[in-house]
Structure 1
Amino acid sequence: MANSTAESLFAQKQGKNTTQPPDLVDRPYKAYLLGIIIAICGNFLISISLNIQKYTHVRQSQPGSKPYYTCALWWCGIILMGVGELGNFAAYGFAPASLIAPLGCVSVIASAVISVVFLKETLRASDILGGALAVTGTYLLVTFAPHNTQHITAHVVQRYAVSWQFLTYLVLEMIVFCVLLYLYKRRNLKHIVVVLLLVALLASLTVISVKAVSGMITESLKGSLQLTYPIFYVMVVVMVASCGFQIKFLNQAMKMFDATEVVPINFVFFTASAIVAGIVFYQEFYGLALLNIFMFLFGCLLSFLGVFLIARNRPKIKTERPFIDMGQVPGKRCTDKVQPEAKRITYGSLAAKILHLDKKGGQEEDST
């Protein structure tokens, strides 16, 4: 008791905030900056990986090409993605989760720039405006994000896992998840918001478990072994399970909806769930000034808007035509359409044959 009183008096003399929880500490600026740099580099590598895979798929789509998984360049992209995700994982051990998650907009910005420079996609005005908004939002996030974080130990994770705030949040999340899953599976409500909300609810558990695992590994590397506690392996199981189901629902969303819709909405939902998870579980906004909170949320809003502008209506990379251009055949006139529209109801269906028979019957009646 005397030691805690002395520490409190010393903190007051140093001008530090003594109202924050005992586990919250002011991390050295170098460690905080290291987490930001690792996250930015990891997202940049992910953007390079995505564009390498996109380039490989386009090149392998040409006639006579081998499958994409036999290409060494595609495997280089997969390796880069693994390194980038590993960097994001490590960044959670140095910086707050509410900051690392929004920095995912770096991947969207870098991917747009790389696709224009190397894949020769069209640079649009919305790309420039969206990039400017996303960069501004990222600057506000880094500047006004909470600089206080915890030394993530097994005892800290155990105490937070049984706190009334997190238990209330977990129960509400489970109720909402079950309702959405019922609507999606039983009522066949295949709406993009429903699917991506399922992904976001799972993502909140992923963020909590990833930060816990990464933090305990970081503390173990510093000399305080945390891998002997059961809570570490519980968090590993939660991390793997939530990631697996999250990928499952996200793949279903990519099958049903266009990527220009999935990317911005998923980024907004994932970031919001990560921020809420950091606030509820790790109490990252505890003691933060109201101005900092407002500017942080404003930075998130700018990043959301920037990602939306960059991702909407992205131009598709042209591939070779699957049909013959009649304008290239000598003696033939160039026509606008050389094959039926595949999206029409009558294309290749029984209705086309019925319409053809009716038309033929009508012509026979007219002739008689």
Structure 2
Amino acid sequence: MNSIAYAFAPAVLVTPLGALSVLIWTVMGAYFLHEEVRTLGRLGCATCLLGSIMLVLHAPPDEDIQTIDEILNLAIQPLFLLYCSLVTGFSTYMIYVVAPKSGRTNPLVYISICSSVGSISVMAVKAFSIAAKLTVGGENQFSRPSTYAFLITLVVSTLTQMNYLNKTVDEFPASLINAMYYVVFTTCTLSASFILYGGFNTTEVITTLSRLRVPSQLRHSIADTIENG
């Protein structure tokens, strides 16, 4: 169902809605696993929910994609290729160097792996979901090699992500992992989405700031800083 959602809405809208899973997982962990949720944990869940509401309310519109090759052209841009290279290098280092030493004592080790790799899987699942949607609409995208390139990326990245997410849950309390994973995963996914679809431009940032209830002096100061580079 998450994959279907990515076909009809931007990742910056769908991903923050995962805050609901933080709340549900926390309640289930407390009820079924008898894990204690303290005041700080409740505050963290509330903060995740509030931040997600703000992101959802001010999410930009989705791109109008006509063919899967359009997404491929975006994916091979230098900035996104650099991001993918950084994710690959970082996750490889964490898997083979850091995880064997600190994976069972520091939850951020496994979380950083599955979150960074997960941001790539979200971009791939969105591309593949759009290909499926266009195919159902009468424009066959499965005759294009780019569809299968995204499918292979999706399978590899999702298997890696799920593997280390399961390891994290095995080693640490679910009430701790859920909120931490949500925050790191959402940050990585939004960063990947902004880079892939060019979400960081001055006009959109200033428009979003103008919609938020930020004091006018602070808002103008931030806008001037962005315009001046």
| TM-score, normalising length: structure 2 | 0.77
Calculate percent identity across the aligned residue pairs: 27
Equivalent residue for 1:252, pick from 167, 184, 191: 167
> What letter corresponds to residue 81 of structure 2 in structure 1?
L
- Spell out the pairing of 1:244-323 with structure 2 (5 A cutoff): 244-286=159-201, 287-292=203-208
Aligned residues of 1:213 and 1:236 also touching (Cα < 8 A): yes
**Cα 1:114/1:147, change in 2 over 3 Å:** same
Equivalent residue for 2:69, pick from 152, 155, 172: 155
> What letter corresponds to residue 249 of structure 1 in structure 2?
Y
Equivalent residue for 2:102, pick from 183, 189, 193: 189
**1:37-77 per-position Cα deviation (integer Å, ceiling 9, x unaligned):** xxxxxxxxxxxxxxxxxxxxxxxxxxxxxxxxxxxxxxxxx
Pairwise CA distance, 1:166: 1.1
**Cα 1:123/1:196, change in 2 over 3 Å:** closer
Report 1 or 2 for greater relative contact order, CA contacts < 8 Å, sequence distance ≥ 6.
2
**Cα 1:167/1:122, change in 2 over 3 Å:** closer
Q: If you compute each CA radius of gyration, which structure gives the higher value, 1 or 2? A: 1
Equivalent residue for 2:20, pick from 89, 101, 106: 106
Q: Take 1:262 and 1:226, find their aligned partners in 2: how far apart are those partners?
A: 38
Segment drifting more, 239-248 vs 135-144: 135-144
How many residue pairs get aligned? The number is 210
The CA RMSD over aligned residues, in Å, is 3.2
Residue in 2 aligned with 1:198?
113
Segment drifting more, 177-186 vs 243-252: 177-186
Provide structure 1 residue ranges, at least 5 long, that are not aligned to the other structure.
1-86, 299-368
Aligned residues of 1:149 and 1:284 also touching (Cα < 8 A): no
Q: Take 2:138 and 2:45, find their aligned partners in 1: how far apart are those partners?
A: 42
Q: Take 1:142 and 1:244, find their aligned partners in 2: how far apart are those partners?
A: 28
- Structure whose residues are more often helix by fraction: 2
Residue in 1 aligned with 2:127?
212
Q: Take 1:219 and 1:226, find their aligned partners in 2: how far apart are those partners?
A: 7
**Cα 1:131/1:256, change in 2 over 3 Å:** closer
Q: Take 2:2 and 2:166, find their aligned partners in 1: how far apart are those partners?
A: 21
Provide structure 2 residue ranges, at least 5 long, that are not aligned to the other structure.
215-229
Q: Take 1:193 and 1:121, find their aligned partners in 2: how far apart are those partners?
A: 20
Q: Take 1:110 and 1:185, find their aligned partners in 2: how far apart are those partners?
A: 28
